[in-house]
Structure 1
Amino acid sequence: MSAPKQHLSRQRQRQPELEQDYARTTTLGYEAPADTGLVRCIAHGFPTPLARWHFHDEYELHLITATSGKAFVGDWIGPFQPGHLVLCGPRLPHNWISMDMPEGGVPERDLVIQFLHGPIAHAAEQIPEMAEVMALLERARLGVEFFGLSDRAVQHFHAVKAARGFQRLAAFCAYLSDLARCTDFRQLSSVRMQGEEDDAANDQVNALVNRIMRDYAHPLSAGELALELGMSESRFSRFFRRATGNTFTDFVNRIRVNRAGQLLMETDRPVTHICYEVGFNNAANFNRRFLEIKGVTPSEFRRQADHRFGGPPQT
């Protein structure tokens, strides 16, 4: 009788867990508190209680060294294999589920570094050279995957873990520097706004994005927004694309699809209901746009998302 109850429990679980400090024990691969300052290193195998759909206040720099499977970062679902390197921002839910684990598991799968935003942000206020690191951390808010750095990432992790005091901070900064200078990366969870050069343009872009984020479920017209800003529609289209990297229609579709992905992950609402709830006016267009942006249909996305808790797929 216990197995069905556990199955139902997994079906009801939709929200990520908040990782608490009391759970961060050395038996799970964490360093002893006396050995940490700004930087905390974790090395662990799989399976492990740490592999679950969860979030925490720290950034997490996560390197996979063994096995392959599915990664879940915010509303992004994708494959991973050894060398997969991701920087997750604070409170961004994430999990990695191995699909090819050998019998008995693996002793080491994850090399992880966690660190808080505050100390780095305060230091950056006084140290101009840290500007590139702050840009990196801003990108990480929605998850960043890096390519071509896996070998150096392993070296960096072990250098940080082996060091203490200021030498550890120096090793950690060297790691961040390589990430900040890496140009081969991709955002994972959602669209990220690109800043304009002047404050007035930034204010306009922020206002536009806030408006879209607030009203995404309602009809949105580029022409109406252009009129509100005192622009022609063609000028508005150029301005919007330069600011966000997307056409207005593509940006709105991405916001709607990302919200749909969240609802598919966190609720049991029918796909057709979610379609209209996020602002699409017909199911065929919703399915087409979702497939273009996420690479899978809404139903398949929900099916894959149920793996993020580590249990068997839901039926």
Structure 2
Amino acid sequence: MKLTITYEHDVSINAFRWTPHAYRQPLHAHASLEIGLCLSGTGRFYFGRKAYEVNRGDVFLVNNEELHIAQSDPDDPSRYLFLNFDGALLLAEDPGLLLPFAYRSSRFHNLIPAGSALAEAVTPWMLAVERELRDREPGCLAMAKSALIQLCGLLLRHYTRELSAEQQLSAARSANQTKALAQLVEQRYREPIGLRDVAEELGISMSRASRVFRETTGRRFADYVALLRVQEAKRLLAGSDRQVAHIGFDCGFQSLATFYRAFKDATGLSPVQFRQTFGLGAPDAAPTRK
């Protein structure tokens, strides 16, 4: 089951607390990356065919492809702090920050155990993200983003140390190629642009370009292009009174049907609904997280 995640702030990060059911719900995935911290209680956390016993202080990494679900112990329900965030945030900062989430499920240990040096290091940053988004003090969005980047930097350093020198070199090469791909797309996403175009411009094969982009970001190339177009459309819908159709075409979509479908998939709302909720003169409201 694929869930749609919408964000409650202008920066694409959610922080929320959640107590899983005492029975096992269906596994799900979502386009956002996720980090979970068990604040109290016990239970189990399922990732595909993997299952981890959960205790207070355990931290879990979730990428945007792996099916997962948490379950509480009925006698000692677990409670979590979860951070959901769009991988594009990290891609814009440093593609290497995405590497801890670019794992293959069967070979990856999602659990960072309570009491370990890494869990002790990342927990304060998770709490800082939550605090900034909750308290909404001046500069909170920048502070929340900064805390998330610090957190992911710690993850990157930890997982990089576990790689051989050859694997580190390969990972760095992939990250640099992904950054170059992303920069080209950010310059030209309003145009009809395809993977072949940017691969040829960078002098690499389409298969190589597709593979490194997917492995580093967890996204298909076409999905990332659509994401940039949707983000620009959101800005224009909320901040101008231009016609919806004109906005869709100006952002690079080749048809209104494609624009509406991509926008609804990314936000959970149609472009018209988004403007009615967040556009100029709209009443204050927050999007619904699903």
- TM-score for the superposition, normalised by structure 2: 0.45
TM-score normalised according to structure 1 size: 0.42
Which structure has the larger Rg over C-alpha atoms? Answer: 1
